[in-house]
Amino acid sequence: YVASEFAALGVDFEERNDLLEEGIEAMKTAWTQDGVTLSGRHFLARGNTMLPRPTSRPHPPIWMGGNSMRAIKRAARSCQGWSPLPTQDRRAPRTATVSNLEELRQRIALAHKEVEAIGRQEPLDICLSLLQPAPGSSDYDPQHSRSYIRALSDLGVTWIGVRPTGSDRAAYLDHARRFADDVIAVLR
């Protein structure tokens, strides 16, 4: 979403969505077919075959990030999952705000509506990336995390991302172990 990053690569910022959608289809084709012939805006494949094939069949799962309606539609149409982005403030321009469970519920409802509208049969995973507060931080509370994860599950979130804190490897692993013991094990 940062226009200057596109400029640094010589790519028209207004093409970003079309290029992403084209790239997703090109990757899926490359992962599943031999002798791929494709002509895109910024690439040309003339009978290319990608080997070795991914071990995931038919291809690795693709999860689309973003809160916009276009990102949600793209996820429902072309991906195995959708990952809404928590936005605590407006640092992420040009996207819908997802700063609380109600806003997340509204975006998930839009995703389910899109899945239904296109007649998708495959489930759409929903991954909220970044459980806050982080395990190991001063305000981390396992009971709060368990309640929050239950609320996310009730909304339809199927995956969460967790980033424990730690000033070194040992501290990081300790916080990850505590999270596993105090939250994951209890929720199972």
Q: How much is the pLDDT for 89?
A: 62
Terminal-to-terminal C-alpha distance of the chain: 37
Average confidence score pLDDT of the chain: 91
**DSSP label at residue 54:** P
Q: How much is the pLDDT for 93?
A: 61
What backbone torsions phi and psi does residue 167 show, to the nearest 5 degrees? Answer: -80, -15
Q: Which amino acid is at 90?
A: R
Could you write out the DSSP letters of every residue in 135-174? Answer: TTSTT--HHHHHHHHHHHHHHT--EEE-----SSHHHHHH
Give the integer Cα–Cα distance in Å for 171 and 188.
25
**DSSP label at residue 181:** I
| 131 within 8 A of 145, measured Cβ to Cβ | yes
Distances, alpha carbon 114 to alpha carbons 29, 40, 50, 158, 186, in Å = 24, 27, 32, 17, 34
Residue holding tokens 């209890």?
186
Q: How much is the pLDDT for 134?
A: 81
Closest CA to 48 of 38, 58, 57, 56: 38
Residues of the chain with pLDDT under 50: none
Q: How much is the pLDDT for 92?
A: 54
Q: How much is the pLDDT for 90?
A: 58
Give the integer Cα–Cα distance in Å for 20 and 171.
38
Q: How much is the pLDDT for 54?
A: 94
